Amino acid sequence: MSEQENNGMIQVEVIYALPHEQKLLKVEVPQETTLEEAIKISGILNKYPDIDLSINKVGIFSKLSKLDVVVRDKDRIEIFRPLIADPKEVRRKRAEEGKVMKKGGGDA
């Protein structure tokens, strides 16, 4: 058990990435803190008011997580931005354009 865990505190990182800026905050939080509480304690919601935890998905080490999950020492909490375009829709449009332009997959 680390010294911080002995005093009831753990270290986590809160990360939010924009296209031209990445913010990483190292935060000390009490043990048994939820993911949502850790995000609020970090102060990142004040720095980036566009973050809406009812809309933005969150995760720990790139794995989608719920806001009520209890964080552990050294967890990396990530706040994901909403997708601008639906990847399935983009692939479908590319496939349609390919058929019209006769790209790839021609007669065998």
Q: Which domains can be identified in the chain, with CATH numbers?
A: 3-82 (3.10.20.280)
Sign for the CA dihedral angle at 61, 67, 72, 76 comes to positive
More confident call, 51 vs 87: 51
Q: Are 26 and 35 a contacting pair, CB within 8 Å? A: no
Of residues 69, 1, 85, 72, the one with CA closest to residue 30: 72
- CA-nearest of 92, 4, 17 to 51 is 17
Q: What is the model's pLDDT at position 2? A: 52
Contact 51, 36 (CB under 8 A): no
Quick: pLDDT tens for 26-47.
Answer: 999 999 999 999 999 999 999 9
The average confidence (pLDDT) of the chain is 86
Q: Which of 62, 53, 59 is nearest to 71 (CA)?
A: 59
What does the pLDDT look like over 39-79, one tens digit per residue? 999 999 999 999 999 999 999 999 999 999 999 999 999 99
Model pTM? 0.72
| R_g of the chain computed on alpha carbons | 20
